[in-house]
Amino acid sequence: MSRHLLLTVLVAANIATALLIVRDRHEHRQAFVELSRLEKARDALNIEFGRLQLEQATWAESNRVDQVARTRLGMEFPRTEDVVVLRR
């Protein structure tokens, strides 16, 4: 009788181990899919960040600022006679 009980316990343990392996592999696949999705999102954000840095550098370029100041705001450099130097 004890041999049948031992065999039954071993078969049950084998089945339980197989089911746990299947569950773990499924979780691993889900985690890998999530990792791939997050890596794609990271890459897209890095591309967008690079584009924004380039755009910021373009807008902040001194020639661009000078052009906008002259055309949109009507600004110009002061004439020499309009400059006042204050000394202590």
1 near 7, Cβ under 8 Å? no
Terminal-residue alpha carbon distance, the chain: 110
Strands (DSSP E) found in the chain: none
What single-letter amino acid sits at 40? K
pLDDT in tens, the chain (88 residues): 799 999 999 999 999 999 999 999 999 999 999 999 999 999 999 999 999 999 999 888 888 888 888 898 899 888 999 899 999 8
pTM, full prediction: 0.59
